[in-house]
Amino acid sequence: MALRMAVLLSGGGTTLQNLIDHIQAGDLAAEVACVIGSREKAFGLERARNHHIPAIAVIPRNYPDNAAFNAALWNEVRKYSPGLVVLAGFMSLLTVPEDFRHRIMNVHPALIPAFCGKGMYGHHVHEAVLAYGAKLSGATVHFVDEEYDSGPIVMQASVPVLEGDTPDTLAERVQAKEREIFPKAIQLFAEGRLRVEGRIVRVR
């Protein structure tokens, strides 16, 4: 049976679209059971609806605090009984219920543990890489724990930082790697080939 995924996002949803494309191409044995957006206008919700995927907005500012927001969010997620929760450009801090430990995956646009943590998302990451003068960047797929970008690493791929790069040109190169490794990592999960030992992820 295909892996059921709940996809959480806050923005344009190109990451979601890539997963849908891989499912349709037959190289990702999964289905998107629902998409939950933390912004009403997130275009990712529209993409989901275009593919007849249930799409719901759960907005942080509608709740008194992060705990109440997370309670509402997980209540929605659980309705769809996903095997894996996928963060696809999701910009709010999640709590991790015990039964979802090592069942939430995120893609980050840098080589963790560099250029990650609170405030390091989207273009901020690429600006920081360029300002630091790093010669390599890349993409990281990791399991999610209670802190930003700190859970066990599943897969990484590097790209060169080139002379004359702007945040946009670097983002483009990094996102091409994200589009490669995120579906691969999820497919390994779907095949039951990932085992987490402490913070080390073993691939069988």
Indicate the angle between helix axes 167-190 and 123-132, nearest 10 degrees. Answer: 120
Segment holding 9, helix H or strand E: strand 3-9
Distance CA 164, CA 130 (A): 10
| Out of 3, 8, 13, 36, the residue judged to bind ligand GAR by CB under 6 A | 13
Beta-carbon neighbour count of residue 1 at 10 Å? 7
Per CB under 6 A, 178 contacts ligand GAR: yes
Per CB under 6 A, 175 contacts ligand GAR: yes
CB of 125 to ligand GAR, least distance (A): 6
Per CB under 6 A, 121 contacts ligand GAR: yes
Nearer to ligand GAR, 86 or 193 (CB): 86
CB 35 within 8 A of CB 9: yes
Binders of ligand GAR in range 24-83 (CB under 6 A): 44
Distance CA 147, CA 173 (A): 26
CB 54 within 8 A of CB 48: yes
Per CB under 6 A, 151 contacts ligand GAR: no
Per CB under 6 A, 185 contacts ligand GAR: no
Q: Is 102 a catalytic residue?
A: no
| Out of 5, 32, 86, 107, the residue judged to bind ligand GAR by CB under 6 A | 107
Nearer to ligand GAR, 10 or 98 (CB): 10
- Three-state SS at 144: coil
| Out of 37, 109, 138, 151, the residue judged to bind ligand GAR by CB under 6 A | 109
In the set 108, 123, 126, 142, the catalytic residue is 108
DSSP state of 152: P
Q: What amino acid positions are annotated as catalytic residues?
A: 108
